[in-house]
């Protein structure tokens, strides 16, 4: 089964919690056991499972990536100015896979699923969910 989530982003770099919408789709699928793959379409976006307690960890992720991969110093910047976004997305990765057990995502208490925007703001970003029943 495939589903698409569409979101808009309002930051140049930011993490957006998509866990509630993903959970609704998994419940709607009626799959009791299997795998969920969450995939960010686009070469300057990623998916990350991270702590959901407060905004500090999400801010730390963005700040770390800004320090590790600064903007304006990459060969690709000569083409369209977003070389850092491509590198951040490649480092984090476009997808995560989560087990579905007894109809629920097997995330721990402190884990949520985040869409990572590295080249925003964007009017629309697509996130493809694939559910495989076992």
**pLDDT bucket at 94, cuts 50 / 70 / 90:** very high
Mind listing the pLDDT tens digit for each residue in 56-68?
999 999 999 999 9
Beta partners for residue 7, in sequence order? 125
Is the pTM here over 0.75, yes or no? Answer: yes
Can you give the CATH number for the domain in which 53 is found? 2.60.120.460
**How much of the chain, in percent, has pLDDT values that exceed 70?**
100
Mind listing the pLDDT tens digit for each residue in 13-57?
999 999 999 999 999 999 999 999 999 999 999 999 999 999 999
**Owning domain of residue 72:** 2-133
**pLDDT bucket at 126, cuts 50 / 70 / 90:** very high
- What pLDDT, on the 0 to 100 scale, is given for residue 11? 97
Instruction: List Cα–Cα distances, 99 to 31, 33, 36, in angstroms.
Output: 11, 8, 6
As for how many domains the chain has, the answer is: 1
Cα(86)–Cα(68) distance, integer angstroms: 13
């Amino acid at each position: 089964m495939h589903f698409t989530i569409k979101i808009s982003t309002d930051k140049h770099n930011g993490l957006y919690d998509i866990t509630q919408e993903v959970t609704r789709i998994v419940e709607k699928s009626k799959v009791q056991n299997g795998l969920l793959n969450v995939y960010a379409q686009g070469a300057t976006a990623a998916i990350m499972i991270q702590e959901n307690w407060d905004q500090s960890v999400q801010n730390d992720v963005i700040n770390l990536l800004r320090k590790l991969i600064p903007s304006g110093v990459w060969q690709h910047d000569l083409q369209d100015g977003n070389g850092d976004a491509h590198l951040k997305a490649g480092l984090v990765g476009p997808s995560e896979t989560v087990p579905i057990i007894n109809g629920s995502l097997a995330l721990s208490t402190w884990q949520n699923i985040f869409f990572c925007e590295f080249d925003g703001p964007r009017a629309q970003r697509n996130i493809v969910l694939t559910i495989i029943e076992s």
